[in-house]
């Protein structure tokens, strides 16, 4: 389960998003967004704005390749924050359509379930046919066409198996 993302208006007050480039930028903040501690809220605000306002946000990369950043000290994935900022609700799971994890352009993001997201991935390392859903079965010495756990057929010829796979949506 993923953690809830802050409210859309909260994000909109802090971040600016360009859907054509996928870049998030920190907005300038006001003193009421800071609490007084050792320093005044105004000092904290001025200090924060000098360091961050107008600069790219979520520039770090996670260990698995996604853009990440902190909001109030809590880490979030940029694509999930973008979805909430644009559409106002937490996404189920974000799929990067072109499979480039740092490409956060709005046209490249979609909110999908796990099964749909898993379909949009590259070939596995052990794939021998070069086509998703087609593999060689050693025991029968046939090429098998199987998609989402459903077997659609077996063929002696690899090209025929690939052709059959192409007819399945």
CATH of the domain at 39: 3.90.75.20
Residue 141 lies in a domain: yes
Residue 12 lies in a domain: yes
Domain around 70: 8-119
Same domain, 40 and 114: yes
Q: Which residues are within 8 A (CB) of 21 and not within 5 positions of it... i.e. 6 or more apart?
A: 105
Domain boundary among 77, 95, 119: 119
Residue 3 lies in a domain: no
Same domain, 86 and 40: yes
Residue 30 lies in a domain: yes
- Please name the residue ranges forming H helices in 113-157: 114-119
> Hey, CA dihedral for 149, 65, 58, 44, is it positive or negative?
positive
pTM for the full predicted model: 0.76
Residue 2 lies in a domain: no
Q: Mean pLDDT in the chain?
A: 92
Q: Are 133 and 146 in contact (CB under 8 A)?
A: yes
Same domain, 44 and 110: yes
Q: Are 94 and 87 in contact (CB under 8 A)?
A: no
Round to whole Å and give the CA distance between 106 and 82: 8
Round to whole Å and give the CA distance between 68 and 169: 34
Name the DSSP letter for residue 126.
T
Same domain, 30 and 80: yes
When pLDDT is cut at 50, 70 and 90, the band that residue 66 belongs to is very high
Q: Are 135 and 128 in contact (CB under 8 A)?
A: yes
Residue 13 lies in a domain: yes
C-alpha separations of 164 from 36, 159, 167 in Å: 67, 9, 5
Same domain, 34 and 90: yes
Q: Are 93 and 79 in contact (CB under 8 A)?
A: no
pLDDT, tens digit, 9 for 90 and up, residues 85-108: 999 999 999 999 998 999 999 999
pLDDT at position 1 is: 60
* Structural domain count of the chain: 2
**Of 43-47, 56-60, 68-72, 161-165, which gets the smallest average pLDDT?**
161-165
Same domain, 86 and 114: yes
pLDDT at position 33 is: 94
Q: Are 26 and 53 in contact (CB under 8 A)?
A: yes
Average pLDDT on 48-67 reads 97
């Amino acid at each position: 389960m993923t953690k809830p993302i802050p409210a859309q208006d909260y994000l909109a007050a802090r971040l600016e998003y360009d859907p054509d480039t996928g870049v998030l930028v920190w907005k300038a903040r006001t003193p009421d967004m800071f609490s007084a501690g050792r320093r005044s809220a105004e000092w904290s605000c001025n200090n924060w704005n000098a360091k961050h306002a107008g600069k790219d946000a979520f520039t770090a990369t996670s260990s698995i390749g996604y853009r990440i950043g902190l909001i109030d000290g809590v880490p979030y994935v940029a694509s999930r924050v973008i979805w909430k900022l644009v559409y106002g609700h937490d996404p189920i799971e974000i799929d990067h359509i072109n499979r480039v994890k740092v490409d956060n352009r709005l046209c490249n993001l979609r909110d999908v379930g796990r099964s749909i997201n898993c379909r949009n991935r590259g070939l596995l390392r052990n794939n021998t046919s070069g086509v998703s859903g087609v593999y060689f079965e050693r025991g029968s010495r046939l090429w098998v066409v199987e998609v989402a756990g459903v077997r659609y057929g077996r063929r002696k010829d690899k090209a025929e198996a690939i052709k059959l796979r192409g007819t399945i949506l």
